[in-house]
Amino acid sequence: MKAVTNYQHKKILVLGLAKSGVSAASLLHKLGAFVTVNDNKPLSENPEAQGLLEQGIKVVCGGHPVELMDEGFELVVKNPGIPYHNPMVQKAMQNSIPVITEVELAYQISEAPFIGITGTNGKTTTTTLVFDMLKAGKKNPLIAGNIGTVASGVAQEAGPENKIVIELSSFQLMGISTFKPKIAIITNLYEAHLDYHGTLGEYHQAKARITENQEKDDYLIVNADQEKVMGIARKSQAQVIPFSTREVLSHGVYVSDGWICFNEERIIRREEVALPGEHNLENILSAVAAARLAGADKEAIIKVLKTFTGVRHRLQFVEEIGGRKFYNDSKATNILATQKALSAFQSPVVLLAGGLDRGNSFDELVPSLDGVKALVTFGQTAEKIKMAGEAAGIKTIVHVDNVEKAVPEAFNLSDAGDVVLLSPACASWDQYKTFEVRGDMFIEAVHKLK
């Protein structure tokens, strides 16, 4: 960890806890700052806040009192999930108090370079692939961000011999000022998080911040098949490394004659890659580029691509029972993700779908339901998804109470050779605390079938 002195005796507010807030507060306290933590959850129900209190950190819990902003803070470290229209964030900005996220702190103290991955879809899979490739190549990677340990915690342990591979959301990137990854990846850009960002343009601008501080000796790996991503690349000062699933490029990463290639070097035959789904090809290509640029040898990359079958809850193969293959894609919290999951299979599919109702219809899902032989629905959107299934001509549509009951029902509706796929096209919060919990319930129910 770098010897950072610029936070000594500074009065800093950490707004919102969870893992990133706890880590940021502890780190700033260690760096000599006068830290106040403010969290919405009452202190009696807040073990994280109680732990910080025991460290001697001032804690204000049970709400976000705007008058707290009158205490002369010089910096606010905001939990990424707290929107910028929050009154306390607004007050800070009105008072010209800088507002950052914890990933900025991590960068400032880190002795290790960062490999940052962002995009609408594929971040977690790509991050895991890069990490595994560097690990196989003995390049001392550490993993951080939404997928791993909190970035500022990892950065405290990292040395110059390490590389920090970090998944970055648009929420985190909005709160950077000097953060600069040595290698950055933008997997793709679609419409998402408009409830937070307000407009598609603002969402894209947030994603673009991953490269705003990069310089000519840094690398930006981008999706050449999307003009909106290439628009960001054209404004970057970094060396741009494009990847394409559609065409052979003059440089970058692409597929040619059945081979995945990096700058004309053949890496591996496409058919030898274990990870299913055409949509995962974007993740694979960008990961190959990042790993190669970070020094991983071809053999390490090949080893990972031949064995990596997916990240938990992201088109994760669970089990084969009675000739049916069960896949857990609980992370598919929007229609696009479910469309991509369905496109990964040639076999007949029994689809399990449903969840939180955000007010949208599922008309866009209809064309992707061609290969679905039966549909099992649950959650608030069950009726809407049933209507989409009927529009697609699916004859067998069954409604159940939850994912646990959907699994045996799907087994009964399927035959040997079929795929049983949990890909809900919805968030989980109507019935489950997180998509991970929903996916775990699916996995548990599949194992019970045995």
pLDDT (0 to 100) of residue 365: 97
β partners of residue 99 = 76
- Annotate 156-178 with b (16+ C-beta within 10 A) or e (fewer): bebeeebbbbbbbbbbbbbbbee
pLDDT (0 to 100) of residue 381: 97
Plot region of 15 (φ>0 → left; ψ -120 to 50 → alpha; else → beta): beta
Whether residue 312 has pLDDT greater than 90: no
User: Cα separation of 32 and 37, whole Å?
Assistant: 15
Pick out the residues of the known binding site for ATP: 119-125
- Annotate 267-284 with b (16+ C-beta within 10 A) or e (fewer): bbeeeebebbbebbbbbb
Pick out the residues of the known binding site: 119-125
Q: 324 by DSSP, 3-state: which? A: strand
- φ and ψ of 124, to 5 deg: -65, -45
Amino acid at 206: A
User: Cα separation of 134 and 296, whole Å?
Assistant: 6
What's the residue count for the chain? 450
Reported as a single tens digit per residue, the pLDDT across 30-80 is 999 999 999 999 999 999 999 999 999 999 999 999 999 999 999 999 999
Q: 397 by DSSP, 3-state: which? A: strand
156: Cβ contacts below 8 Å, ≥ 6 apart: 1, 27, 109
265: Cβ contacts below 8 Å, ≥ 6 apart: 298
Of 167, 281, 193, 184, give the one whose Cα is nearest residue 233.
Answer: 184
Domains within the chain, CATH numbers bracketed: 11-100 (3.40.50.720), 103-307 (3.40.1190.10), 316-449 (3.90.190.20)
Band of pLDDT at residue 314, cut at 50, 70 and 90: confident
Task: Report the sign of the C-alpha dihedral through residues 49, 53, 57, 58, in that order.
Answer: positive
Reported as a single tens digit per residue, the pLDDT across 223-247 is 999 999 999 999 999 999 999 999 9
